[in-house]
Amino acid sequence: MENKEEMLKLQAENDHLKLENTRLKSDMAVMEHEMKRLTSRIGLIQKSRETTEMQASEVLSENKELKLKLESLNRRFQDSPILDENPVHVHFEDTISVNSNMTGTSSYKPDQEPQWSTETGPDFDSKWSKHISIIKSHPDFIVLKNNSRYHTQCLDDFLFSRIVDGVATVNGVPLPTGVVMQPKSEFTVYAQTSHAREIYDKSCILHRFQTFGTGKIIEDRLLDAEGNEAANYLFCVFKAL
């Protein structure tokens, strides 16, 4: 009798252990599934991290390159003088007497007469050294002025061209030949001048653009004091070849 009770007790314990074992196996399977899911998520996170690090590296590299370009442009911007008149002051010692438009005579030193010269940046000729300047610009014409108080100026040495948005939409226009401008006189050059021809030359001199205000030149753009583009078309004066 006691043996039978002992056997039943052992059987019950065995059944309980079997149930516990089944439960543990089920829990183990759940844990293995969760582990696989977590492992997969960790892999995705690691891959995302590597991608983010690579993108961050590329962004840092691009930022460094942009910073270098900006520093270069800032240096070029600072090195490109403002488009404006730079008169040379007249000194009246060691002078020569000449007739003036006023009563009597005036004395001056010829090699120190006020000049209209500008710097135009590294991609263009460095100076405009004649007495001629552009005092008015318009899509159809420009008005030139001889700023000298004493000297005449022939226009045969210069060529005129109009550039719109960087493209020569109007052919190069040679200045009329044989035009001699008297001191302080003005001369208008129209875009429809006959015998116009294209002019291909990098010795472009950009000078005295009152239409667009004071600015600086970088490459082929006219910029204002804040560095914004100040014009969508430019008047260009070329040296005759």
- Half-sphere exposure (CA, 13 Å, Cβ side) for 94? 7
Answer for the pair 187, 179: CB distance below 8 angstroms, yes or no.
yes
Q: Is 130 helix (H, G, I), strand (E, B) or coil?
A: coil
Residues whose CB falls within 8 Å of the CB of residue 178, separated by 6 or more in sequence, listed in order? 154, 156
pLDDT score of 130: 52
Mean pLDDT, the chain cut into blocks of 10 residues (241 residues total): 79 88 90 90 90 89 85 66 38 32 36 41 36 63 75 67 47 60 82 42 37 37 53 45 36
pLDDT score of 93: 34
pLDDT score of 208: 34
- The residue ranges of every structural domain in the chain are 1-79, 96-239
The closest alpha carbon to 150, from 101, 104, 116, 117, belongs to 101
Amino acid letter at 179? V
pLDDT score of 175: 54
Burial class of residue 207 in the structure, from the number of CB atoms within 10 Å of its CB (0-12 exposed, 13-18 middle, 19+ buried)? buried
pLDDT score of 96: 31
- Say how far apart CA 148 and CA 130 lie, in whole Å: 9
Burial class of residue 174 in the structure, from the number of CB atoms within 10 Å of its CB (0-12 exposed, 13-18 middle, 19+ buried)? buried
Q: Is the CATH code 1.10.3470 the one for domain 96-239?
A: no
- Say how far apart CA 218 and CA 120 lie, in whole Å: 8
Bridge partners (DSSP) listed for residue 205 = 237
Q: Is 188 helix (H, G, I), strand (E, B) or coil?
A: strand
